[in-house]
Structure 1
């Protein structure tokens, strides 16, 4: 059972803040927290993290968790985090790297709906990311393991991971029928939902699809390398769109040095693509921090959460003041800090970057992107921000 706010406050000690900035005590600011390296390190809470979040809950100060992590559905992740951190969390204030992919089920201004299309999903443990994609509303989801089990010769070292894949694979929605391409397995999009576990297989199958004719597995486009076409013909023949959920080269784990993340896989794939195409452009869409579309999405989620939290959900709702400032608390200068510094809110909200020393950033080094302030940990970050806003502890 998730503990109540009052229970958390009882355990951690009540700290109520007040401010002269609003006669109703309604904060015009909020927080966005990264998770790995800020609140948790390899699933273990960082000292002060639970106290920091409980302090905000006690004082009705909105926050969201904004992470480049993923691999599980938001509902499962917030349940885990609530238990680990001792504070109630919901999907309403949680954005992970692949959460914005939900928008592509129904489509966008530039991308048609993928709800009824066939998509390849890679990354994460087993087929958990497939299940996440299906919960989002994608109807036909295939994993690289599905393909390998059906056609083991697609990767010559198939025996290495066969036992692993056998537990989670499904029959393909269509066979690979090169004699009848119109009836053959065809992909409309490729999603790297989370850090791939089998870089070799995933790289091979993604490359195959990027070189294919119209996304039909096992084909090779005759336009590839045609210098009379844009990009020398590469990705000019109806190949599936390629999406990455985050660009993080490194992330903080239980090991004492940061480990390669999804950005490492992306760089590896880029290298293979460059060698294959002679350095032609690799067309892809990358979301997650530091990209502005992710911050825009997060700000919308934060404003909706703030409206419910401060304005109420009943028939009579209180007016909620404009969100003037968001404190982005992160451990990675390349993603958390850069994204907050460069994001230009269309609603006039200022994003202020706060760097902590508990994750990727190494104390004593010079961050590639300079934060507003560097502090020891997330609790120090919250206290610094509250002081910045003129909030103080009631005696």
Structure 2
């Protein structure tokens, strides 16, 4: 099983890539991505509802792979109405090129795609590349109660737009010496903008840990586990990560058989353990994590045989 925080491709693509890279057969159902929990029910509820997808990569194909038949991207909305993002020069240039080619997307086409209904939800699948356009379009959808281009009054009876952030990472480790802002930072920006523009906080409950890790036990439940060559249940599943606020928090929230393993290779670099989200095991790198997991498993087996 492989867990990915910020994927921008459907699980079958990721499985095929891992199969080619490592020379072992990896099935799509063995891939748990930060948006995999959508498969557990929410995607089915939104299958026929207009949904705005936020993120980089082919998020449209990701949404459609979950059965979302009326999903649209930030880019599609921006290209249909370039005036909605006046500072996005690349959007204006692409819209102008499309008009010259006679293939410009317009509001009428989007109206057909949504069947004239308001957006029911915004799904932030991963970190968008163009934060300005993503924040502006998302805020438009929220403030318009699903209809960008209008501002719904406070007493509007229309249902609010649900916003789902699939990845809570505030920071992540990259090639730069210090961590970079992640999807959690985008969420904080959108929430702050809504509070400032609307004059009231957004409604909803705070996220609890990482979305992918608590969903993984459900993803790997009968009949999924029945297809694996296992003679008994997992004694432990070691979740190795470098981010205490995401990787460790998610594994700790999931509980047994998940065991959190914190490595000092990315976001976390300090001595000792994380004071905010202490891990069950803290080591320097992934190799040490594997050795520690094997040692712990052998010790558990030895004690069970005594």
Classify the TM-score, shorter chain: 0.7 to 0.9
What's the counterpart of residue 195 of structure 1? Answer: 127
Once the two structures are superposed, residues 70-107 of structure 1 have per-residue CA deviations (whole angstroms, 9 ceiling, x without a partner) of 11111111222334445432222210011122234663
1:221 aligns with 2:152: yes
> Counterpart of 2:246 in 1: which secondary structure?
helix
Q: TM-score, normalised by structure 2?
A: 0.83
TM-score by length of structure 1 reads 0.66
1:342 aligns with 2:268: no
> Where do 1:75-154 residues align within 5 Å?
75-104=12-41, 107=44, 113-125=45-57, 128-154=58-84
Q: Spell out, residue by residue over 1:162-206, the C-alpha distance to the aligned partner (whole angstroms, 9 max, x if none).
A: 456879x984684578xxxx9746212111111011111111111
Aligned to 1:254: 175
The correspondence for 1:386, drawn from 291, 294, 300, is 294
Partner Cα distance (1:115, 1:90) in 2? 24
Q: Which runs of 5+ in 2 are unaligned?
A: 301-306
What is residue 282 of structure 2 aligned with on the other side? 374
Measured in 2, the distance between the counterparts of 1:333 and 1:188 equals 33
Q: Deviations over 1:341-364 (max 9, x none)?
A: 2334xxxx3322111122221143
Maintained 8 Å contact 2:78/2:91: no
Asked whether the equivalents of residues 119 and 189 of structure 1 are also in contact (C-alpha less than 8 Å), the reply is yes
Residue among 221, 225, 229 paired with 1:310: 229
- Higher relative contact order at CA 8 Å, sep ≥6: structure 1 or structure 2? 1
Residue 342 to residue 285, structure 1, CA distance change in 2 (3 Å): closer
Greater per-residue helix proportion = 2
Report the more deviating stretch, 366-375 or 197-206: 366-375
Q: CA deviation at 1:208?
A: 1.3
In structure 2, C-alpha distance between the alignment counterparts of 1:286 and 1:172, rounded to whole Å: 36
Moved more, 362-371 or 331-340: 362-371
Which residue of structure 2 lines up, in the alignment, with residue 157 of structure 1?
87
Distance 1:321 1:366 in 2: 32
> Does the 8 Å CA contact 1:174/1:185 hold for their aligned counterparts?
no
Conserved? CA contact 2:237–2:259, under 8 Å = yes
1:324: which partner in 2?
Answer: 235
**Quick one: structure 1 residues 336 and 286, their matched pair in 2 at CA, closer, same or farther if it must change by over 3 Å?**
same
In our comparison, the structure showing a higher alpha carbon Rg is 1
